[in-house]
Amino acid sequence: MSTPLIEAGMAALRDGDAAAARRAFELALAEVATGEVLEGLGEALYLEREYSAAAAQYERAYAAYRREQQSMDAGRAARTAAWITGNVLGDWAVRSGWLGRARTVLEEAGQDRPEHGWVLIIKAFSEPDAQVRESLLREAIVVGRRFGDPDIEFLALAYLGGLFVMTDRIEEGLVLSDEALAAACAGEPTELATVDEIFCGLLWACELVNDVPRADQWMRAAAERMQRSNVVAAFCRAHYGGILTAAGRWQEAETELVEAARHFDLGMSTRRAAAIIRLANLRVRQGRLEEAALLLEGLEQHPDVVPTFAALHLARGETARARELLERATEGQDDEVPTVGESTMMGPLLSLLVDAHLEEGNLDGAERVAQRLGRIAEAQRGPYLRAVAALAKGRVGVAGGQGDARACLRSRGSRGHSCRWSLPGRAWRWRVRCRSARLRSPSPKPRRRWRGSSGWRLPGTPTPPRRCCGRSVRPFGPAPRGSAD
């Protein structure tokens, strides 16, 4: 069913005019409450940041589509309700319920229809086995191409790219994410949740592996699309701010993170919490510890807060608290290799735990954790975790007066990457310090000076150079007192 009001509302959504779309759909709703009208109103509310109201309209749209016996449309409304309630509002149990309804409804259409592609994607969400998940996503891509459905094809492609990044097939995964985002910028996928998930996924991956150039390029390429969707802009800003923080571009990072937090200022949504945690991490690195602590109040149970809290405790000299927090977060057998995604997330936590043990002078504990990190890294196929593990091994070796620090950094994980921004930020900064100090092999009883969670410097080590490969360089952690910075 199409009316001039519905057509006007759809045109306004395509132009990014959420206010005009809302007016048109509210007028249309006074005439008839169809699934199409309710879904259009939900999208307009979403773009106006009224997320709870938007979720409610998508739930009503789902019910209307069910009455109209439109299985694909009902599944889309249920999936979008799941996206808003879970990824935006943080109600994960509600998200699980709506994904369950979407899968059930879409399965009713059978396997010889495009709905089957969405069933495969939903199954992949909860599949812990990486190979099985990869198989489901590849099959979904085939279904999307077979039926000419770009939303299925490119969302599955984006998730497959994310899966590869999580299992340390980084370059392969980022290339797939590039393709999916190029399609989104070209307007091929059209569903609101699909486009946002593709954008969000690529920036999340760039943040995970500190790929600053790739993030910079896509922020420029997607500028026009972001202007038409302020939600995409906010999601991207939070991840982009995290990337800039790791890169040492702190002033730019603060601008992005503050804007992201302001966007979600209506309550403590998942996205606002994520932006605030990243802003707190920036404050820790700047040495503004009290501000960081204030930002983190009330976020103790957030799943992403552990690294920031641990870094804050280390910077305050609360080493025991940091160690206990990290030990709980990384609890498990030393020879246990984590499942999908956990290995990449575990690396930074274990690296911080090495720092905590070294702060306490526990070389045996630090070596044990570094060895565990090395075993996890060896089980992966890409350079990221191997670089983290090589850095941890080097720190333990220097602290214990054994080994060659530079040799560790030239190992398989970091060879050829001395200024690659895809490495963890701490790794290339540490390498710059080693080069600056002309550190070849530590003495049997090395003198070392610790600066909280910001890493180590041997007495007399010169300040790291301010530029490296043509880029500005800042030392990891708070600037020393008296610094011009």
Say if residues 426 and 391 touch (Cβ distance below 8 Å).
yes
Q: Do residues 124 and 134 make contact, with C-beta atoms less than 8 angstroms apart?
A: no
Q: Which residues of 99-118 are buried (b: 16+ CB within 10 A; e: fewer)?
A: bebbbebbbebeeeebbbbb
Q: What is the pLDDT of residue 119?
A: 97
Q: For 8-17, 81-90, 471-480, which range has the lowest pLDDT when averaged over its residues?
A: 471-480
Stretch (H or E) spanning 298:
none
The answer to whether residues 101 and 118 touch, using CB atoms and an 8 Å cutoff, is no
472 - beta bridge partners? 467
* Cα–Cα dist 465/153, whole Å: 46
CA angle in degrees (0–180, nearest 5) for 387-391-392: 120
Judging by beta carbons within 10 Å of its beta carbon (0-12, 13-18, 19+), is residue 484 exposed, middle or buried? exposed
Helix axes 192-209, 230-247, angle to 10 degrees: 0
Furthest-apart CA atoms within the chain: distance in Å: 84
Q: Are 118 and 83 in contact (CB under 8 A)?
A: no
Q: How many CB atoms lie within 10 A of CB 122?
A: 22
Q: Which pLDDT does position 194 carry in this prediction?
A: 92
Q: pTM value?
A: 0.72
pLDDT at 123: 96
pLDDT higher at 426 or 213: 213
pLDDT tens digits along 384-429: 677 888 888 888 988 887 765 555 555 544 433 333 333 444 443 4
Q: Tokens for 447?
A: 């003198």
Is residue 300 packed enough to be buried (19+ CB in 10 Å), middle (13-18) or exposed (0-12)?
A: exposed
Tokens read off for 145: 């191409």
